[in-house]
Amino acid sequence: MSAPHIEQMNAGGGVPLLSVRHLRVEFPSRRGTLVAIDDVSFDIARGEVLGVVGESGAGKSLTGAAIIGLLEPPGRIAGGEILLDGDPIHALRGEAMRRLRGRRIAMIFQDPLTSLNPLYTVGEQLVETMLTHLDLSPAAARERALALLDEVGIPAPAQRIDHYPHQFSGGMRQRVVIALALCAEPELIIADEPTTALDVSVQSQIIALLRRLCRQHHTAVMLITHDMGVIAETADRVAVMYAGRLVEIGPVVDVVRAPAHPYTRGLMGSIPVLGAEVARLVQIDGAMPRLTAIPAGCAFHPRCKEAFARCREERPPLMAAGMTRAACWLHAHDREARSEPAVLRHRRGEQP
């Protein structure tokens, strides 16, 4: 049932910065094992921004947590591998993982207030992170902290460096968090809904900042968000997740303009667009299945208007579909599989 081949998106060849192969994350529970992430594979090249989009519960944040080794027990990586620069990191524990975390892979969380320690000034937090990971003197670290605060657009950094997190506004705090993520010059930043807690006008500033800094520092970003607009404006490629599986991945322009998977098409149609006046939004009936009741075959088939027999029986691997890759039998090359064009609409409403 696994994908027969994994695309090598790095056209230039060589090893991708991050390579996730057949990742499977399980949560053992009394009622059996819940598979929260099921056979997810993707690569991130150096300096690339990969957007990961999906509804809540699709497994996008868990994928990020699995990469940086922050899965909450009893969640565990049950299969597959995660390679950073060719080296497996999914089995690292304890001190080895700590050395990697913050140094080579950094993380930006949704709520900037909870990711900063309220008892330390932002300067102390920046300096501490740098002293942990880099070979610097405290004075040099402070100097670098000042430069970083200036770089992320904090006015009067010389005064602000000695302020506590609560003295900053939401947008300024997220800038501090970005500075904190960048301070050890990581190769990859996992940004989990970095702008969801912010107002739109601040959101656009933070996104522009993140994009500019990552371009300058040549840092790759895995941008996890539910906001397709943010992805469209920021990412180079986008991965769409549904019920713990990757349903489509490809260059952002192609996924936005010509989505190949019926779920992605529904998702795009359901977003109200400023430029267009439509009487009704495209609506995907039903809701994403719970982890306890993921349907056989393609997880999307009960809600899919184009589902046919094969969708109910066999899980589709990622396959070439136009300019993107989609896990959908509609794009199977063996066209005889589509001979039964039965339209499945037996589930209406939101009954899971």
Query: Taking CB under 8 A as the rule, does residue 282 contact other proteins?
Result: yes
Cβ(301)–Cβ(344) under 8 Å?
Answer: yes
Token digits of residue 137: 């003197």
Among 96-104, 157-165, 278-286, 305-313, which window interacts with other proteins (CB under 8 A)?
278-286
Query: Taking CB under 8 A as the rule, does residue 253 contact other proteins?
Result: yes
Question: Can you tell me the distance from the alpha carbon of 157 to that of 122, in angstroms, rounded to the nearest whole number?
Answer: 10
Q: Name residues contacting other proteins, limited to 67-126 (CB under 8 A).
A: none
Question: b/e map of 253-279 (b: 16 or more CB within 10 Å)?
Answer: ebbbeebbbbbbbbbbeeeeeeeeeee
Residue 350 CB, nearest distance to other proteins (Å)?
A: 5
Residue 238 CB, nearest distance to other proteins (Å)?
A: 11
Cis amide bond preceding 74, omega within 30: yes
Q: How far apart are the two ends of the chain, measured CA to CA in Å?
A: 24
| Binds other proteins by CB under 8 A, chosen from 137, 159, 201, 339 | 201
Query: Taking CB under 8 A as the rule, does residue 293 contact other proteins?
Result: no
Residue 263 CB, nearest distance to other proteins (Å)?
A: 9
Token digits of residue 67: 């990469």
Q: Which is nearer to other proteins, 144 or 226 (CB)?
A: 226
Q: Which is nearer to other proteins, 79 or 295 (CB)?
A: 295
Query: Taking CB under 8 A as the rule, does residue 55 contact other proteins?
Result: yes
Cβ neighbours of residue 164 under 8 Å, at least 6 residues apart?
118, 119, 120, 121, 122
Place of tokens 């299969």: 79
Cβ(264)–Cβ(255) under 8 Å?
Answer: yes
Residue 317 CB, nearest distance to other proteins (Å)?
A: 24
Residues near other proteins (CB under 8 A)? 55-56, 169-172, 199-205, 207-209, 211, 226-230, 232-234, 252-253, 256, 266-275, 277-285, 287, 348-352
